Structure 1
Amino acid sequence: MSGKLISVDLDGTIVFERQVDPDGIAALHEWQAAGNLAVCNTGKSIAATKHALRNTDLEFDYYVLYTGAVVTNKDYEVLTSHTLPNEVVTEIATKLQGMDNLAVFATTLDTPDVRISSTINASKSTSILQTFAPLTIAEIPEHTFVGIPLWLDDTDEAIDALHQQILSEYGEILDCHRNQNFLDIVPPNCTKATGLEWLVPRLDHSQHIHFETYSLGDSWNDMDMHNWADHSVSFPYSPAEVQELTEQVTPTAAEFIRKVLAQ
């Protein structure tokens, strides 16, 4: 028995300017109504994903969150998770506090996202990480962390330089992925693909279904997911290397979903 499964990024794929595309929602409902599975695959935390989807009736079948570090069911109940050592979180937060044009956030499994430090002008905000509470470095030992999102209000060159610096210094104990003007620090060997690699074989076994897989994503942190999928799709505004990697480039997520449904 065969079925179809689509893995869908949020920001820049179906979420734009803090709003979920209504046509994208409708197309995903059509996808699920046809008996297919829809997986949300994002760098966002549980709290941030709930916030992003809060004013919609969109409910994914599964969620791959924190860039693959956590997988949940449709009710956000954790099926598997990986975390960062608190001493690593403390060391990175201490080293980066005060760096120009940088905000240091952190994510947990069971609390709102937190911001540890920021040198970005207070008048600026980002649609990727919309809500957070303050946290001091001294409070880090009181929590368990999954990720450290870094928001850089800077040039591509500066973002890439910090990306390489983090991987050079910590690459053996963590992963770091770029998403637009964010760097997402997560536990080692965590990507959007590893979350799917954990989930899909279990679905194949439990449902006795072999899934044909599709991926929809706009940015660099989607490239592992695109490599994993049978059919990968990016957008005209995606970075050139992302477009070159994917099988297709589509104007909108909704248009591609309906194209597959019509086949």
Structure 2
Amino acid sequence: MLAGMRLLATDLDGTLVFHHVVRQADAEALVRWRAAGNLLVLATGRSVRLVQHAVEVARASTSIGLDYDYAVCATGTTVIDAAGQVHRTRTLEADQVRAVVRAIGDVTQAPVSVFASTLERDYVLDDPIGLSTDQRTPPDRFTAAPLSQVAGLGVTSMPLHIPDVRTSAALASGLEETVDGISCTRSTGFVDVTAAGESKGMGLGRLAELLADQGMEVSEVAAVGDSWNDISMFEQADVPCAMAGAPGEVVEAAGGRTTPSVAAFIDALLA
């Protein structure tokens, strides 16, 4: 058994990716982390396809790129390796997807942009806020399609874009009360709908089981993130850390530990 390996799970948006850019210092720190014999895991609400987009962003904005060992995608529902092989995934039932879309208008009168992710593609079902057509959004990122076409395709998560924090909290709780068998996890600007019980923390737990089955022993898990969907990940970590400026509940879940950057956190871990 390989002993003594350390694992770092890092969130992407608001932690490693800012305005479609990865900072050079962060990319260099991730290289140092892996060069020291440690595992790097990307833990994100992004779908499998949008994780690849983050890798492309890193390649375009740094001289290094972004190499990783595993990714926990779509709010914990899906675990892939660096080659893109899916080791585990869980999807919503078609009836649940339809029920979520129907329930949104009953739960809130605020505009909500509705997306649905599968292993292969990211769909936009309704976008009154205009995220999918924003000039900063790559034109091939989302495919417009009707609910009737998408519901049965194996939806891993449904990201709902709703910028207001208080409205998003009410939407999350309202949907969980209205639709059976789902979980709603908040992140900055989004509520991610998944099958019940799914979270980044659950995904990390399943990755730990996968590594154990492969004879890989992890001696320490560190995690860094900036939003509410990272709290479950912090609960799985020996060394949790929130990004400076994260909401108070997120900082509290990290035991009060904060960092100005991923690079600074890695430097502290390697010291």
TM over 0.5: yes
Matched, 1:157 2:166: yes
Pairing partner for 2:215 from 207, 211, 218? 207
Relative to 1, partners in 2 of residues 1:26 and 1:104: Cα closer, same or farther, differing over 3 Å?
A: same
Shift of 1:210: 3.4
Write out aligned runs for 1:1-263 (5 A).
1-55=3-57, 56=59, 57-96=65-104, 99-111=109-121, 113-121=122-130, 125=134, 131-141=141-151, 143-153=153-163, 155-170=164-179, 172-247=180-255, 248-262=257-271
Secondary structure of 1:145's counterpart equals coil
- Structure 2 contact 227–246 (Cα < 8 Å) conserved: yes
Q: Deviations over 1:66-92 (max 9, x none)?
A: 110000111111001100001111222
Secondary structure of the residue that 1:67 maps to in structure 2?
A: coil
Q: Give 3-state SS (helix, strand or coil) of 2:220's partner.
A: strand
Q: Which runs of 5+ in 2 are unaligned?
A: 60-64
Contact 1:101 1:120 in 2 (8 A): yes
TM, length-normalised to structure 1: 0.91
Identity %: 30
Instruction: Report SS of the residue matched to 1:104.
Output: strand
Deviation at residue 108 of structure 1 after TM alignment: 0.3
TM-score, with structure 2 as normaliser: 0.89
Cα distance in 1, alignment partners of residues 131 and 244 from structure 2:
32
Distance 1:145 1:27, change over 3 A: same
Query: Post-superposition shift, 1:126?
Result: 9.4
Secondary structure in 1 aligned to 2:45?
coil
Retained in 2: the 8 A contact 1:90–1:140? no
How many residues matched?
A: 259
Aligned partners of 2:200 and 2:232 also within 8 Å: yes
Long gaps (5+) in structure 1: none
| CA-atom RMSD in angstroms | 2.2
